[in-house]
Amino acid sequence: MFGSPGSGKGTQAKLLRGCLKGPHISTGDMLRQHIEAGDAIGRETERLIKSGKLVSDELVNDLLEKRLAELDCRSGVILDGYPRTLNQAGVLLKFMQSFGSRPAVIHLIVDSDKIVARLSGRRQCPVCGTLYSLKTNPPKVAGICDLDGATLVTREDDRESVIRQRLYEYESQTRPILDYFRQAGVPMFEIAGGGDPQQIAKEICDALKSAGLIQASGTASEVKAPSASVTS
């Protein structure tokens, strides 16, 4: 799954399990689990993050390869947050070949101004963490949390200047990976995002079925959604 920040990629990755029966795999979640476990991988990952560095491709590739070898991945997987680099993209295609799988890319397209409007309209309670949307889920009293009465705040990463910078970074980092997959002949489906999540999920599933990448019955016969986002 590819999709810019605020495109609804995470939501779609979960909904797509309705027609893609394999697990939703997030490399970011995998790394966070290791950090919580406090094991060697977690300690190294935490050290890199705190020092402002990226986790190496080798480490992430190794984690993914081991995950793809597990039994529940035989009927397909939905990848979220991988690949993030051209190196990872090349390794992923080798993984797909070795596992006898057919990759496809789902790229959610959402107008950047709509993303900025939606994300910059979010407010969060600093006490309980509840998120509100000024447009679709506003608090009962403007600026006040429904649950504990605390004054809502705008998160730093929801400020317009920060959002636009994240969108720029997503575009510059992701475009080469998308171009790589196109040149490699990987089926790519660009789907308009930002609308009703259930309808978007249906459109994605219908597109995959029409291309013969999943069975018409809705069961996934192979791993078909190597996807990735710099979500980040």
Active-site entry in 9, 21, 74, 123: 9
Instruction: Please state, in angstroms and as integers, the Cα–Cα distance from residue 130 to each residue in 110, 121, 144, 159, 160, following that order.
Output: 25, 14, 11, 17, 20
Report the phi/psi class of residue 81: left, alpha or beta, with left for phi > 0 and alpha for psi in -120 to 50.
left
Q: Is 43 annotated as catalytic?
A: no
Catalytic residue, chosen from 21, 74, 84, 102, is 84
Catalytic, out of 102, 123, 166, 224: 166
- Contact between residue 148 and residue 140 where contact means Cβ atoms under 8 Å apart: no
Q: Is 9 in the active site?
A: yes
Report whether 1 contacts 78 (CB < 8 A): yes
Report, in this order, helix, strand and coil percent for the chain, each rounded to 5: 45, 15, 40
Beta-sheet pairing, 131-133 with 122-124: antiparallel
- Determine which one of 21, 74, 102, 122 is catalytic: 122
Residue type, 188: M
3-class secondary-structure state, position 113: helix
Contact 46, 36 (CB under 8 A): no
Q: What is the largest CA-CA distance in the chain?
A: 56
What is the distance between the alpha carbons of residues 227 and 178, in angstroms, rounded to a whole number? 10
Asked about 17 being catalytic, the answer comes back as: no
Is 53 known to be catalytic?
Answer: no
User: Any catalytic annotation for residue 66?
Assistant: no
From the candidates 43, 66, 135, 155, which is the catalytic residue? 155
Catalytic residues, by residue number, are 9, 84, 122, 155, 166
